[in-house]
Every structure is written in structure tokens, then in C-alpha cells.
Structure 1
Amino acid sequence: MAIIVEKPGVDGLIEAVDALREWQGEGSPWQLHPGDLGWFWRFGAETAAAAIRIWRRDGRILAVGLQDGADLLRLTTAPDARQDEKLARRLVEDVIEPERGVLPPGKVAIEAPKDALIRDLLPARGWRAGEPWTPLHRDLTEPVKAPELRIEVIGPEQAAVRAEVQRAAFDGSKFSAERWQAMASGVPYADARCLVAYDDHDNAVATVTVWSAGPGKPGVIEPMGVHRDHRGHGYGRKITAAAAVALQKLGASSAVVATPSSHVAAVATYESGGFQRLPEVRDLARDA
């Protein structure tokens, strides 16, 4: 059967979430997670659906891509299709030909699992190793100690506080209570929690959102940040520990996160929060 690529509507977006849940597993290489779609849902379901591409054969979803911004495609496949040559060649053609509409012309990058055949095929078409990322992993099969800090699970009433800490943690962020509401209305958020940490003076000092893929599967942190006015007090380490506790309560087998290797402080924060650094991974990049 021929492989087809789709730009799905909201129903297809939900199908993509279900496929990504199924594909998560311990020991799998770093890959697109349903939580990544959940975080993107903050822009609304229709915008999230417009950013998704689905590749199918005989009705079955074989690959899912998220255009995360103008120049990055985050791509993964069903585990048993990673070395499927016909799929890999179709993916290559779809992402390198601008008229196919998956990626724009010019400087772009692709994130794909390290065992995906597409990574072996793209360099012959002029692609190179791109930005290095550091994945980190924390096993959740053993009890996790909660931090000595007030942590609140955020609901609609506290969405403005959650949004304020996000903007104060990430320069240029436009996150708002309305975007939190959009995110929380998405299908992936049924397996997610937003947390905010407070200091002894009731200041909101850090925040994190965690996404489970279901019991016995890795959960992901996306995003975690500390308010710029409250850094240097260990709140990053403590909110990271709180994230692990939340994921454990959701039944996740582990907590995973990836950050640019250039963000040395972020890597150190996760390590101090009990995460183990894994070997670096790189995007594949095209310069023109």
C-alpha cells in the first residue's frame, strides 16, 4: 500500500496523540511525546492540528511530525517502522521538497529518534548534524521524596499565577491565562499536571508542567522554569523533584526531559533534582 501524508484536522490530532502514547516505552530513544502536543495545544486545537503531519499506510499511522515553530520539525515513527525503508524515503522526500509543505525552504532542522533510518538518509541530501541536546532521565519505580516547599496543583482559578511565573521564567514568553485554558482543554492534559512552588512569603517562585503518556510509560517535563527574581535559592531543584512526584502519582515509569546542551545551568538543575544525564542527541540541520 502507498504511504500518504496528511495535514489532519482536530480528529486527526487526537489520533496522533493516541499513537504517540502507544509508542512511548522505557529504553526507547528520545522522541516526540504526547506532552509535546499537549504543550503546543496552548495555541488552540486548530493551530495545533495545523502544525501536525501524519504519515499512514493502509490506514495505520506510521509517523507523526510536529512543526514546532517555523524552522523545526519534530518527527517520530512507530517503533517497528524506524527502519522501514519505504517510509524513511517518503519522509525524506516530504521534508526536503518545499512544495510538499512540510517544511519551508531555507534553514531548517529535524528532530528524529537516533535509531530512525531517516537520520542515515538525510546527510546524503546535504543535511548535517545540528544543535546538541542533552536528554535526562529519572527512574520512578522507587519512592520519590517530595521537596520541602509548598507546591500547588494549578487549576483554572490559578491560571493567571501560573502564566505570570512562566513569563518571568522565560524571556519573551507570551504565555497567558487564556493560553493555559486552551492547553488544559486539550486531550493530552487529562494526563498532565501544572505545578507552582511558593516560598515562605507566599511568592510564586517556580513552575512546571508534567505530562504522562499513561501508566508504566515515561512522562515528560515541558516546561520547567524559575522566576527571574527568585533564582539562586534551589527552587529549580525542588520544583523538579515535585515534578517527579507528580508523574509518579500519574503512574509514569520515569520522568524524562531534554534541554539544549548549551544551557549548562538547566542541565545541572535537573541533575541536582535526581535526573541522570544521557548521551547527547543532535538535530539534523539544513543550511539553505
Structure 2
Amino acid sequence: MGTPAVDELGDVLRVLGEWQHDGGPVQLHPGDVGWFWRFGAERTATATRTWSRAGDVLAVGLLDGADLVRLAFAPDALRDEELARRVVEDVSAPERGVLPEGAVSVEVPVGALVQDLLSTHGWESGEPWTLLRRDLGVPVPDPGARVEVIGPERAHEWAAVVRASFDGSTFTEERWHAMASGVPYAGARCLVVRDERGEAVAAVAVWSAGDGRPGLIEPMGVHRAHRGHGHGRAITMAAARALQELGSSSVVVCTPSANVGAVATYRSAGLERLPERRDLHRAAA
């Protein structure tokens, strides 16, 4: 297991992008790392873990907060027993520096052997997540709303909508600029939907993993004062169209299953539900 330097993150993200394909499981995406980049390059590198063999990266983890690691695997390594045992040992032992003692969680792609092994090591099913996908091989209808691509001069507006969309959000204009300076943002766009008065009422960031690969929505939010008017559906449709322009084969998104409003919004925008995924959770001793 290793932690890349800042100047090595580009190579890690390139490999992570190559693992994304429509026939495989939804897993940690370069856009997830891109969204984390709002905290800066150094912190992003510190939060990244890699597992390699003979010089080839086979698994990548992102410490998304103090008590959660999110994992992705090379397609041909999902059921690799040697790799799976190494990953399980590293995430289960606090002294390895992945997860601390106490209550922690691991996000594992559906079908990965790590999920089976963690279950036999006392980890239990945790929070359920709904995964959704829309094929971009066919035209996406016009969202029927005023959509704007946000650049540096309007970053404050995008940040304000994000703060007003998520309880407890501390997102700022400065964090937008940090995010936009990251390697993954070369294949990303930030969008807003404006209402009839020109006010930004919904926001989304979309992330490409390269031509012909699934693109990611992370995050998507509607200002709490402007909900119930179809803005979520419109911004999701706009996100799909933006990813189509970027060459993505599909759009994927993950949301807590408990967030029934978000699930309904994504489905109204033409995304189809995939099999649910559950985190693996270890309770405090």
C-alpha cells in the first residue's frame, strides 16, 4: 500500500479512469477525487491510497472523511484473492494508517472479493446507496431551462447554491477555485440552472473519465428555497447533455437510498436504478 505524491496523482487518476466502463460496477471515479480536490492538492494526495503489484496499480482508495474509505479495483482484479486479503488487512488494522479505531466504513464495488472477506472478518452491512445510470448513446432531450456553464468569474454563485442545497455545507468560492485547479477538472464542468428572474437555483458538477467511459455527477443540488419546481430534473438533464458533449458513454450517480427525493429526481431525468450497494461497517469496540 502506498500514498502518492502530489505530482503522482495524475498517473493514479489516469489509471482510475481506465477502470471505468459500462459493463463493470459503479466504483470510485476520477470525479470523486476531483470533488475531494476542493480541499487542495496536498490533502487529496494524503487521502489517496494505492495497492500495486509488479509496478501496476490494482486498487485505489480515497479516505473521504475520517471514517470512510472508498475503493476501486482494476477490472481483472475485482476477485484477486491476494490483493483482496492485502486490502482487508490494511483497512482493518488502524496502525496501517487507512482507517482509525472505532466505528468506520468501507465503500466496496459490487462483486469485489473484498466485500466477501470483510463480511467474514466481522464487518456488517451499512448504509444502502442507490446507483443510477443513463445511456448517452442516444440524444438527451433539452432540459427546458436556462442553463449556464460556470467559470471562475461566477464561482461565487455556484458555491452559494451548493451551500444552500446541503445541510451543513461549508463550500466556498475559494474551494471552487481549489477544485478547478485539480487535474480531474480538465474533464469537468460546473453548471447552474437559472429561474425566470435569472437567479441560480440549482447546481451540478460533471466529471468525465475519458471518451467512451461513464461520466459522473458529483454533486447535484437544488437551492432549498426553490425546490418543487422541476429544477432538479432540469439540472440533471443538463448534466447528461454536458457529459455527452465531453464524450462520455453514460452518466452515473450515487445517492443514499434514504434520500428518496434525490432518487425520484434522477429517475425523472431518465436515469435507471442499478442494484443497490451497501457500505461495509465496523462498529466501535
Q: Give TM class, smaller chain.
A: over 0.9
Which residue does the alignment assign to 1:170?
166
Which residue does the alignment assign to 2:253?
257
SS at 1:221 equivalent: strand
Whether 1:72 aligns to 2:68 is yes
Which of 267, 272, 281 is the matching residue for 1:285?
Answer: 281
Which of 14, 17, 27 is the matching residue for 2:23?
Answer: 27
Unaligned runs of 5+ in 2: none
Whether 1:110 aligns to 2:90 is no
**How far 1:12 moved relative to its partner?**
2.6
Which of 89, 94, 98 is the matching residue for 1:98?
Answer: 94
State the alpha-carbon separation in 1 of the partners of residues 231 and 160 from structure 2: 16
Whether 1:220 aligns to 2:194 is no
1:68-95 C-alpha deviation (Å, 9 max, x unpaired): 0111100111111111111111111101
Unaligned runs of 5+ in 1: none
1:202-250 C-alpha deviation (Å, 9 max, x unpaired): 1110000000101100001000000011111010000000000000000
Whether 1:36 aligns to 2:36 is no
Matches within 5 A, 1:118-157: 118-157=114-153
Which of 7, 13, 19 is the matching residue for 1:11?
Answer: 7
State the alpha-carbon separation in 2 of the partners of residues 119 and 11 from structure 1: 31
1:137-159 C-alpha deviation (Å, 9 max, x unpaired): 10100011121111110000000
**How far 1:198 moved relative to its partner?**
0.3
Which residue does the alignment assign to 1:191?
187
SS at 1:258 equivalent: strand
After TM superposition, the score normalised by the length of structure 1 is: 0.97
State the alpha-carbon separation in 2 of the partners of residues 74 and 146 from structure 1: 34
SS at 1:55 equivalent: strand
Whether 1:275 aligns to 2:271 is yes
**How far 1:170 moved relative to its partner?**
0.8
Q: What is the identity, as a one-letter code, of the residue corresponding to 2:48?
A: I
**How far 1:30 moved relative to its partner?**
1.4
State the alpha-carbon separation in 2 of the partners of residues 238 and 194 from structure 1: 14
Matches within 5 A, 1:227-266: 227-266=223-262
State the alpha-carbon separation in 2 of the partners of residues 236 and 287 from structure 1: 35
SS at 1:29 equivalent: coil
After TM superposition, the score normalised by the length of structure 2 is: 0.98
State the alpha-carbon separation in 1 of the partners of residues 12 and 120 from structure 2: 29
State the alpha-carbon separation in 2 of the partners of residues 197 and 242 from structure 1: 9
TM superposition outliers: structure 1 runs of 4+ over 2 Å: none
CA RMSD of aligned residues (A): 0.7
State the alpha-carbon separation in 1 of the partners of residues 275 and 81 from structure 2: 26
How many correspondences in the alignment?
Answer: 284
State the alpha-carbon separation in 1 of the partners of residues 110 and 136 from structure 2: 24
State the alpha-carbon separation in 1 of the partners of residues 270 and 77 from structure 2: 33
**How far 1:106 moved relative to its partner?**
0.7
State the alpha-carbon separation in 2 of the partners of residues 123 and 172 from structure 1: 32
State the alpha-carbon separation in 2 of the partners of residues 37 and 139 from structure 1: 23
